[in-house]
């Protein structure tokens, strides 16, 4: 599958995502908490189990119809990953898959993303909360 960009969620997703983007020879998109990026941004507000938050990326990071691979270290409840997918969609990008090193299946994040139509790949699972 052709991928145009790798997007990594702050901050451990940067380590994995940047290395993957480099290996694939494609661009890397950092997705960060509000106010952390240096240029003009687009954001997405979302609810967490303990409150609300906002993530942002540069307005020109993803172009219309670009295929994006979303990467982070861990999928727990899936709230931040779901927000990152929505943020990428706001700019016209398409998340082709969400990839994580670790899945905590008892917290339901994978199922949450799959219910939204996203493909999910993980390297390992750890049951329990």
51: domain CATH number? 3.40.50.2020
Count of domains in the chain?
1
**Does this model's pTM top 0.85?**
yes
Structure confidence by residue, pLDDT tens digits, 39-50: 999 999 998 878
Residue 66, token pair as written in the block = 């670009």
pLDDT value at residue 129: 64
Cα–Cα distance, 117 to 105 (Å, whole number): 17
Q: Estimate the share of the chain in helix, then strand, then coil, as percent rounded to the nearest 5.
A: 25, 40, 30
Residue 47, token pair as written in the block = 């609810």
Domain of residue 13, residue span: 5-125
- Helix then strand count (H, E) for the chain reads 3, 7
Q: Are 52 and 9 in contact (CB under 8 A)?
A: no
Residue 64 pLDDT > 70, yes or no? Answer: yes
Point out the residues that are catalytic: 12, 49
**Mean pLDDT over all residues of the chain?**
96
Other beta carbons within 10 Å of 9: 25
Residue 119 pLDDT > 80, yes or no? Answer: yes
Could you tell me which residues are beta bridge partners of residue 9? 31
């Amino acid at each position: 599958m052709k991928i145009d960009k790798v997007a990594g969620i702050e901050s451990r997703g940067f380590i994995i995502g940047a290395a993957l983007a480099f290996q694939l020879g494609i661009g890397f998109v950092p997705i960060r908490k509000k106010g952390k990026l240096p240029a003009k941004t687009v954001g997405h507000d979302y609810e967490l189990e303990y409150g609300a938050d906002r993530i942002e990326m540069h307005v020109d990071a993803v172009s219309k119809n670009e295929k994006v691979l979303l990467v982070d270290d861990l999928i727990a409840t899936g709230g931040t990953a779901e927000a990152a997918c929505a943020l990428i969609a706001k700019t016209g990008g398409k998340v082709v898959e969400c990839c994580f090193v670790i899945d905590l299946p008892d917290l339901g994040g994978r199922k949450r993303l799959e219910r939204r139509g996203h493909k999910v790949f993980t390297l390992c699972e750890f049951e329990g909360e």
